[in-house]
Amino acid sequence: MANGIMNVGVSGLRAAQVALLTTSHNIGNATTPGYNRQQAIQSASTPLANSHGFIGRGVQITTVQRIYNQHLVGQSLQAQSQSSQLDSHYNEIKQIDNLLADTTSGLTPALHNFFNAVQDVASNPASISSRQAMLSNAESLTARFQQMDQRLSEMREGVNSQITGSVTEINSLAQQIAGLNMNIQAVESSASGQPANDLLDQRDALVRDLSKVINVDVVRQNNGHYNVFIGNGQSLVVGSSAMTLKAVPSPNDPQRLVVAMDQQGGEIVLPEHQLQGGSLGGLLAFRSETLDSVQNSFDRLAWGIADTFNTQHQEGFDLQSVRGANFFEGTDPADPSQAARNIRVAISDPAKIAAADNNDGGVTNNRNALKLAELQTANTLQGGTASYQSAYASLVSQIGNKTRELEVTSKAQESMLNQTDQALQSLSGVNLEEEAANLLRYQQMFQASSKVIEIGNSLFDSLLRI
């Protein structure tokens, strides 16, 4: 009898000790990122049958489990991936919005100043100072095109750099996840299948970090391994093996980095539409949906201004009664690509400005200069539907609207992410007040079990004295 009581007391003592250790572990990791609260699961030991019925034999700890909800975790990963993509796209497009809409360094003031100078030449066609001012403002206009194109090119280089960094981060996280797959299987096998909770938390934290870079889907295998798929289903981690991604020059444009999978047969370029979610997905979406479009529109605007202005300038005559030549140069009449980068003023002599429409009227003839000035508001671009200013204003408006849309959507997604994380935290996070109460409860259990042992020992001593 005494021996049985002592065994029950010892089982309670051990259970209380495990519960206290688990609670202390929770408290110590209350602020550890990715930590899931753990709980010691108790069950009654198998009772002993005798003629009086089944006599209890105490308590046992069946396992220490982490409080974890796979469904909520999956929702959190998706919300995190979408939030990171929107944030990445917004942060990039905001730079273009600021560049285009800037009232001092944007294109609008340079365009206005140039055509004010053209109008001044139309008012004073014989004035060399007015003509020189027109050339100076033309130089400022072309310089503004070149500066803004250079800024867009720098953004493109920045995207390339960030893609390289994202690929490096993905590879590092994939290697760590594959390594933990192997470690978790080995540890759990040696512990009779008991869960390696802290290692599982570490792996989940790595998966969450990965979801910030790219969309991830996780499939748990029977052996406990995580198979991780990125984008729209491309395998990244299979068991203890991790695939390797590379940032490589595009076959169609060496200046454009794309993501490829490194395989034995060589590199396989992954289509950008398959690499959704996360900051990498945001970068790729920004480049394909916004940066390419803006740079193309900017080139077409520079090309259109040069082409239409040159055509009208060639209709006039300069102060020496010589027919006008190209006013702008550096653009290909048949190809608008890189026009913003290459556009230059072709004339350096103010007298070469073709302000007259014929050889009559001498230096006072301003009729071609008036036609040049009218180009500012004439619908000469986009198939005769837009002027220089309206074409640029349309581009500014388009980017501005897209930027506002992404800002609103990004904030809404961030709010959704916070709600999902709060739901996850309320379930799996550590509540210090609750853990403090558990400490007292398990302390009392420990003390009471010690008392049971003490009584059992006293009974045993009484038997010895008989």
Written as tens digits, the pLDDT of the chain (466 aa) is 556 788 888 999 999 999 999 999 999 999 999 999 999 999 998 888 777 788 888 899 999 999 999 999 999 999 999 999 999 999 999 999 999 988 888 899 999 999 999 999 999 999 999 999 999 999 999 999 999 999 999 999 999 999 999 999 999 999 999 999 999 999 999 998 899 999 999 999 999 999 999 999 999 998 889 999 997 788 999 999 999 999 999 988 899 999 999 887 778 899 998 899 999 999 999 999 999 999 999 999 999 999 999 999 999 999 888 999 999 999 888 889 899 999 999 999 999 999 998 766 566 789 999 999 999 999 999 888 999 999 999 999 999 999 999 999 999 999 999 999 999 999 999 999 999 999 999 999 999 999 988 887 777 777 777 6
Nearest to 41 by CA among 19, 25, 26: 19
- Under 8 Å between Cβ of 354 and 365: no
213: Cα separation from own chain's centroid:
6
Distances in Å between the alpha carbon of 4 and those of 15, 54, 284, 446, 464? Answer: 17, 13, 69, 18, 16
- Under 8 Å between Cβ of 245 and 284: no
- Under 8 Å between Cβ of 371 and 358: no
How far, in Å, CA of 120 to CA of 122, rounded? 5
Q: Which residues, including other chains, have CB under 8 Å from residue 106's CB and lie 6 or more apart?
A: 99, 100, 148, 396
Coil/strand/helix, residue 37:
coil
The values of phi and psi at residue 39, to 5°, are: -140, 130
How far, in Å, CA of 116 to CA of 141, rounded? 12
Query: Residue 54: its pLDDT value, please?
Result: 84
Helix (H) / strand (E) element for 67: namely: none
Q: Which residues, including other chains, have CB under 8 Å from residue 68's CB and lie 6 or more apart?
A: 36, 200, 428
Nearest to 267 by CA among 289, 241, 285, 248: 248
Nearest to 169 by CA among 213, 215, 208: 213
Query: Residue 78: its pLDDT value, please?
Result: 94
| Count of residues making up the chain | 466
Nearest to 141 by CA among 103, 115, 102: 115
Query: Residue 3: its pLDDT value, please?
Result: 61
Question: Which structure tokens are listed for 253?
Answer: 């444009």
> Cα angle at 364 between 360 and 367, to 5 degrees?
70
Distances in Å between the alpha carbon of 103 and those of 86, 99, 107, 207, 433? Answer: 27, 9, 8, 44, 56
Distances in Å between the alpha carbon of 436 and those of 33, 36, 117, 431, 440? Answer: 20, 17, 78, 9, 7
